[in-house]
């Protein structure tokens, strides 16, 4: 990857368009996975307080002895939810969480710091004020949110606070969120997808089997395999690469995750082919307005 393969998210802050996600990679395995990603050329690593693997991510980065400016690190503060039996973060505990994350990551700053979810409205502004101050202190080069809808973002801005640089949301051909994407782009907010590979027939199958939605979900995915397989065969690549390339051509940075070195390599190999207009149209015809990671109702908090 060259330095040109980036997207500007805030003033002089440029994010590599292909990053490595670490959700569901446990602390025991994350160091090896991140090390493999770095060896294959990834220079953006995405983690979070809630993933409980920041220490392993930091160990992998530290072991590679890379120049700090050559690597882009995203992490997220978990805001806490009273509805889930958690204590919501205050201004002070948000600040404390950032310092704890930096200690685990063995870094002086992160490139992007996000509020992981909107949750309670009463605490949202306090948490966002903490992030704006952390940015002013140089602890985060850019700040943003995740899983926020339009009203929730408007609430931050209408309080006289800075507009988030990024909104990390579930985004793929099954869940394209065009109205929300239009809103984000209008306000200069970069849409950053997660769960880019959700339409794959094998995506989190084991997880679905414990959710009570296995038969319907896998049947729907298998239907889409016909479209994905046809386009993948046309370009002589894998279906996962088609989904990631779709996102890149829409202007979205991606953060695919895997613990297998061969998959890590494949997910980074996205620049030797281009989807044509027919490919993009076929993929966009897969729209189902369906979120799978959090469930359809989460985005409406």
- List residues with catalytic annotation: 51
β partners of residue 113: 75, 143
Q: Report the C-alpha gap between 62 and 267 in whole angstroms.
A: 23
CA dist 261 to 40, 72, 129, 264, Å? 9, 20, 40, 5
β-strands 13-16, 110-115: how paired? unpaired
Per DSSP, the three-state class of 162 is: coil
Find, among 139, 104, 131, the residue nearest to 115 by Cα.
131
Per DSSP, the three-state class of 121 is: helix
Instruction: Please answer whether residues 137 and 146 qualify as being in contact, where contact means their C-beta atoms are separated by less than 8 angstroms.
Output: no
Query: How far from chain centre, in Å, is Cα 213?
Result: 24
Per DSSP, the three-state class of 18 is: strand
């Amino acid at each position: 990857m060259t330095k040109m393969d980036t997207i500007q998210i805030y003033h002089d802050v440029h994010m590599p368009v292909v990053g490595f996600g670490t959700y569901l990679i446990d602390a025991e395995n994350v160091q090896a996975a991140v090390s493999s990603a770095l060896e294959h050329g990834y220079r953006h690593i995405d983690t979070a307080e809630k993933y409980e693997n920041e220490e392993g991510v930091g160990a992998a980065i530290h072991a590679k002895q890379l120049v700090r400016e050559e690597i882009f690190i995203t992490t997220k503060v978990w805001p806490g939810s009273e509805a889930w039996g958690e204590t919501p973060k205050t201004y002070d505990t948000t600040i404390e969480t950032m310092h704890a994350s930096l200690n685990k990551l063995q870094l002086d700053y992160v490139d992007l710091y996000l509020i992981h979810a909107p949750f309670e409205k009463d605490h949202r502004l306090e948490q966002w004020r903490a992030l704006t101050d952390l940015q002013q202190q140089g602890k985060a080069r850019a700040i943003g949110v995740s899983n926020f809808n339009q009203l929730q973002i408007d609430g931050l801005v209408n309080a006289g606070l800075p507009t988030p640089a990024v909104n990390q949301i579930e985004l793929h051909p099954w869940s394209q969120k065009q109205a929300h994407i239009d809103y984000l782009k209008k306000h200069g907010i970069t849409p950053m997808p997660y769960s880019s590979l959700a339409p794959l027939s094998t995506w989190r199958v084991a997880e679905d089997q414990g959710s009570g939605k296995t038969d319907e979900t896998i049947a729907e995915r298998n239907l889409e395999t016909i479209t994905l397989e046809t386009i993948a065969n046309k370009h002589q690549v894998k279906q996962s690469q088609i989904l990631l390339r779709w996102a890149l051509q829409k202007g979205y940075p991606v953060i695919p995750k895997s613990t297998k070195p061969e998959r890590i390599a494949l997910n980074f190999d996205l620049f030797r082919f281009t989807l044509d207009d027919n490919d993009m149209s076929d993929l966009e015809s897969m729209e189902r307005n369906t979120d799978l990671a959090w469930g359809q109702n989460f985005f409406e908090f």
